[in-house]
Structure formats: C-alpha cells, structure tokens
Amino acid sequence: MSKSVAIISSGYFPVPAVRGGAVETLIEKIAISNEANKQFDLIVYSTFDKEAKDKEKEYNNTKFVFVQNKWLVEWIDRVIYYFAKKIIRTDKQMSFRFIMHRIAYIVEVAKQLKKNDYDYLIVENTATLFWCVKLFDNEKRYQDKIYYHLHNEIGSAFGCKDIISHSQKIIGVSSYINKTVKQRFPNIKSTKYQVLYNVIDVKHIFEQSDSRRDLRCKFGFQDTDIVIIYVGRLCKEKGTKELIEAFNAIEQKNIKLLIVGSFYFGADLKGDFEKQLHKLVEKKKNQIVFTGFVSNSDIGKYYHCADIAVLPSIWNEPAGLTMIEAMAAGLPVITTNSGGIPEYVGNDSAIIIDKNAENFTDNLKEKIIELANDSEARKTIGKRALERSQKYDSSGYAKKLADILERGK
C-alpha cells in the first residue's frame, strides 16, 4: 500500500502552477513525476483557482485540496491593500496584499490536517505554514512526520522555532541553504540535512527551439544580432539595474537585451524599481525589450530566441530555476558567485563573476562583450550547459523525494 504524502503549499499561488511561482512550479513537478512513476499517494493543499481546479483532472495519483476564501476575507484584504498603497512604498505593498487570506488559509489547512493522518507532511518554504501544525493539536498528531522543504533562507521563525528544530529532515534546494539553517539553528543534527536540487522539464525547454525565428522577428531582432536574455522578477536583488547599466555602456549596436519578467510574477503591479529600470533604458530603448510576465508553458521559447543568458544576482540566490532553464536551452550563462548558484552551474558550464567586486558592473559588461564576439566560446559553454542540465531533469523528482522521506523515518 502506498504511503500518503501531504504537501502544504504557500497559499499565495495555486498548484497546479497556472499563475507561476517557483515553489508552486516545483510542487507541480513532484506531482507530474509521481504520475509517470508512482512513489506515493500525493495530497497537495493549495489556494483555490478555477484554472488550477480544471487542471486537477490530469492527475490520477494526486489529490488537490483547494482552499477557497469567503467573500468577507477577500473584502478585508482589499481594504487593507487599498490603504497600504496609500501609505507604503510600492516595493513593500505586496506584503499587505493577502494578510487575511493567509490567516484563513492556515486555519483551514490546519482543520483538514486534524481530520487526516498522513504518513508524511511536507511544509513548503514559508515558516508561517508551521502554524498549520501548531493549531488544533496537530503537532502531536504529526510528530515524527514533518519535513521542511526550504527554498529560501529563513527570515523569521514566526514562533515556530521548536517545530522547525524537530522536523525529521531539513530539505534544502542547495547546500548553501542548508548552511544558512545550520547557522540559525545550531541544535539541529547534521544528519537531518538533505539537499534536493531544483528541477525543470528539460525536454520541454529544449523542444521549444523552433520558435526562435518568429520571436526574434516579433521583437525586431535581426539574424546578425546577439541577444542577451534576463529572465526573472524585476527587483534589486536580482541585479537587473546593474545589468542595464552594463548594457548601456556597450557600444556595439548588434548586441540586444531581452528582459523577461515583472515585479511580482503575474500581478498587475509595476513597482518603483521597475519604473526606474524603464527610465534607465531611455537612451537605448531601441536595443532593449521588456516583455512583462511570461507563463511557464511559454518560457522556453524566449530562451531559444536568445544567444546568451545573464543571471546577475547580487543577493545570495538559493538556487535559481531560470539558470537551469537557460542551460537546458543550450545557452551559455553569465552569472555570479551568489548563494547556491555555483553548485548548480559547476566549474565549466557558465562564466561566474564576483558579485562583491567593486567593479562588478564593468566586469559584467566585459564578459558580455567577450562572449558576444566569440561564437566558439558560446557554442562550447552552451554545449556543456546543456549536458549539465540533464542532472536537473524533473523525471526522477518524486523518486528522489521519496528516498529522502524514507531515510527520515
């Protein structure tokens, strides 16, 4: 008889990941992998979304439990957000967008956990979700069954430090993330740490190459142009400002920049920082294209439209799904020695720049120019990147997770 594995998703975005979100996408990859090669009976707790609900029928081995808020919760959130937009700067507004939604989601999931008794319970990333375990005496029910799948550094334990410390396993998306937890929770035994590297559907990305000509034509790129692509949120820590500054210093007219992403995934909100970026490109607006948010299903087409991928993170990036996607498209990658990134790209599958160097922007500019003018280097690094990307294919994702869960018992 199959073991039951319950996953508590963030509650912000739905699973299946029809609205994007890195964590939600990875949960969906577990479900897809478990369909192809069943490892367990999967239960996923998710916020309600009609499109996600419709997609539920594609899964036989996964039960999606959708939490739909009452109108009063949504109304209160709209009121809070209305006043937040009036008095709080734009880049902090989203923190106030779903406060009541969050509380209602946690309470409802906690009620559902009380009614069931799963073999394994996985808390995804956000420490506030441990309140699903603290409520209604669930901590006792799920003792020795809790696993923490961590995608980012822990900002605050939100009163759940003891439960986190007693998790069966801390499953980080990189050794870097596990290292940060060890520093924060020195009492957790080293044997409790496991790394489960992020994955993508490598075949899906690779097979979207036939759209290259159409997209380049759409954006006005010529065959002789060298297109640099950035994919990700438009925020300070991702290094997009430094990338544009580096690009502005490049004199070659045939080097173009394609910026794919938005301030907050698919939300209809343009932050102050994003507005600054648009001002920065005024002098080169004919060489830089902003696409806005692009769905996961189409993202591969955009990589194949480009010749070089740049992920210039200046914070400690835990992993970076976009980097793996670029590698799977066979693109040479220019990135930084940020967080877990070196673990993913290895020694010869990317060009790595020191994010702490005083002349970081100049170094970024030089590496872009070098690679743009060396077709052989692009081909060699891109080939190595494609080969390395196979390590992060999602086909065996559920099996890897099942092995970690079993070792936790």
Over residues 179-226, the pLDDT tens digits come to 999 999 999 999 999 999 999 999 889 887 777 888 999 999 999 999
Of 52 and 283, more confident = 52
Q: What is the three-class DSSP state of 230?
A: strand
Q: What is the pLDDT of residue 273?
A: 79
Q: Could you tell me the pLDDT band of residue 234, with boundaries at 50, 70 and 90?
A: confident
Question: What is the pLDDT at residue 264?
Answer: 61
Q: What is the mean pLDDT of residues 363-391?
A: 97
Per-residue confidence (pLDDT) for residue 379, from 0 to 100:
97
What's the number of CA atoms in the CB half-sphere (13 Å) around residue 276?
A: 14
Query: Which run of H or E residues covers position 288?
Result: strand 288-292
- Determine the pLDDT at residue 21: 83
Strand order in the sheet with 255-260: 288-292, 255-260, 226-231, 308-311, 333-336, 350-353
pLDDT (0 to 100) of residue 99? 78
> Is the pLDDT assigned to residue 265 strictly greater than 80?
no
The tokens describing 35, both together, are 């369909």
Band of pLDDT at residue 6, cut at 50, 70 and 90: very high
Residue 208 has a pLDDT of 79
Give residue 95's pLDDT. 60
pLDDT value at position 221? Answer: 93
* Mean pLDDT of the chain, nearest integer: 90
Peptide bond connecting 16 to the previous residue in cis, omega within 30 degrees of 0:
yes
Is there a contact between 164 and 133 (Cβ–Cβ < 8 Å)? no
Q: What amino acid is encoded at 320 in this protein?
A: G
Confidence bin at 278 (pLDDT 50/70/90)? confident
pLDDT at 155: 83
Helix (H) or strand (E) holding 364: helix 360-372
List domains and CATH numbers for the chain. Answer: 4-199+393-407 (3.40.50.2000), 202-392 (3.40.50.2000)
pLDDT digits (tens, 9 = 90+) for 388-398: 999 999 999 99
Distance CA(25)–CA(261), nearest Å, equals 16
Place of tokens 């299903």: 297
